[in-house]
């Protein structure tokens, strides 16, 4: 294992300030700033997803002690911003929220979303036919949901078949563009019922548990 040289004699400092918990990590001499990687602030709406484990690899870990991964396959104009995989009211209360962070309108015609199980097998979640003639405006969201379980106040832009479901454990979703290139893949070990994982900030690569999911569709400001 690669030897890690620390800038101080301890790995981290945990301090309690004004009712909020802040985690500080000491970076090694060859690493990026861990605080930039995982974020360091919390609010009443957010619960910390995990921790950094130091070693040859720095993996973001959730409460179960397993990596929560976000991997970019190819750079794309659209990102996955939030995922929910079930609630007490319905195991199929599921949604995926997309976001367009650019200044361009993105034509989603020909796009698709697949899910991947823990064994690596992919299957269709939302076929390209459901994205036909759909667009996502600059700095706007786009909401996808399970037609057999999602009943939120915010209407979905696209529903996927109720028989196609996400697992809250050991699952992934992959966003493909019209050229069938993987734009983004989000994998999780477990998403607790009634919660979602939400990208925070939208410009970053970190996800946190959202205790009060509030999905946005293409009509929301």
Strands 135-136 and 106-107: antiparallel
Q: Which residue has the higher pLDDT, 63 or 185?
A: 185
Q: At 37, give phi and psi (nearest 5°).
A: -75, -40
Q: What is the pTM of this model?
A: 0.69
pLDDT at 220: 74
> CB within 8 A of 200, min separation 6: which ones?
39, 46, 206, 207, 208
State which H helix or E strand residue 80 sits in. strand 79-85
Per-residue model confidence as pLDDT tens digits over 8-53: 333 444 333 344 333 333 333 444 443 344 344 444 444 444 433 3
Per-residue model confidence as pLDDT tens digits over 168-202: 999 999 999 999 999 999 999 999 999 999 998 88
- Are 160 and 126 in contact by the 8 Å Cβ rule? The answer is yes
Q: Where are the domains of the chain?
A: 12-61, 70-210
pLDDT-derived band at 221 (thresholds 50, 70, 90) equals low
CA pair distance 185, 196, nearest whole angstrom: 16
Q: At 36, give phi and psi (nearest 5°).
A: -70, -30
The residue count of the chain comes to 221
Angle among Cα 61, 64, 65 to the nearest 5 degrees reads: 45
Fold exhibited by the domain 70-210: Immunoglobulin-like (2.60.40)
pLDDT-derived band at 166 (thresholds 50, 70, 90) equals very high
Per-residue model confidence as pLDDT tens digits over 124-163: 999 999 999 999 999 999 999 999 999 999 999 999 999 9
- Are 170 and 118 in contact by the 8 Å Cβ rule? The answer is yes
pLDDT at 69: 55
């Amino acid at each position: 294992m690669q030897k890690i040289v620390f800038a101080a004699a301890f790995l981290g400092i945990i301090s309690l300030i004004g009712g909020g918990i802040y985690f500080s990590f000491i970076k090694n001499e060859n690493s990026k700033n861990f605080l930039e990687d995982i974020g360091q602030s919390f609010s009443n709406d957010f619960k910390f997803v995990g921790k950094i484990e130091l070693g040859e690899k720095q993996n973001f870990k959730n409460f179960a002690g397993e990596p929560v991964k976000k991997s970019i396959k190819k750079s794309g104009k659209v990102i996955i911003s939030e995922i929910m995989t079930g609630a007490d009211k319905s195991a199929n209360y599921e949604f995926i929220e997309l976001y367009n962070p650019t200044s361009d309108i993105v034509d989603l015609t020909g796009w698709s979303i697949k899910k991947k199980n823990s064994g690596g097998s992919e299957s269709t979640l939302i076929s390209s036919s459901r994205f036909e003639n759909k667009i996502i405006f600059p700095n706007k969201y786009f909401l996808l949901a399970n037609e057999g379980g999602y009943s939120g106040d915010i209407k979905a832009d696209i529903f996927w078949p109720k028989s196609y479901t996400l697992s809250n454990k050991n699952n992934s979703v992959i966003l493909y563009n019209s050229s069938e290139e993987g734009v983004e893949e989000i994998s999780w070990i477990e998403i607790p019922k009634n919660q979602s994982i939400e990208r925070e900030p939208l410009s970053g690569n970190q996800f946190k548990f959202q205790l009060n999911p509030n999905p946005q569709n293409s009509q929301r400001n």
